[in-house]
A and B are shown apart, each in its own frame.
Chain A
């Protein structure tokens, strides 16, 4: 029996992570070939995952490491640790 949209939604994450069985993957891809909305959903989620995994999206604040080193140095020197 063909996969419904609702059934596909519950597998979006696993599909994107490549953690579905070959059988489910084939069913999803058969569904996607004929469903524009689910294709847009998968593409959108895939884009989100790619964009947020990029180191430029969430960067360390400028000077973070320098401030941390300074703080560590002071605390170690003053024996408060």
Chain B
């Protein structure tokens, strides 16, 4: 199968000026991914599906990632900005800037016809609050339907063009997005027999007041 760089070059040849970048995976799996701009993502996805050399006809997995705001060390020398947004390495930190957080949706594509894959696509929202709309890829891969609903439910990404965008795991009246990193879960640890670790502060909130005055045996 073609490498991610080759696929990126083919996409750029087909859609000149499209926002496509390769996000390198430094792990031993080296599963590099393609970061697509939201504007042309649907067209590029259709190209990936229909191109005779790729024929990525099956989307096996859709998932979400929540990236919080973070402090990024500003590189001293004006290095070429990493298109993937990864922090520049080996540069002396002069100043820090706040990189706003965003939500990311990851698609894993395979070709059943040509028996290759995966090709990993990433789509990123503008921020975590109001610019959370991304194009739905359900019209291109039908298997995305429930998984995009799940990302909508648990991360709060709105998919434009999704045929049936409703919550899938939580109930319709639910307002939160539980997989976001700043989710505050309901306080229902009234009783915990042996609290420890992360549970200890939660359980402590429900300790009876009298117990604090109980004399130590």
Partners in one complex: no
Q: Which residues of A contact B (CB under 8 A)?
A: none
Q: Which residues of B contact A (CB under 8 A)?
A: none
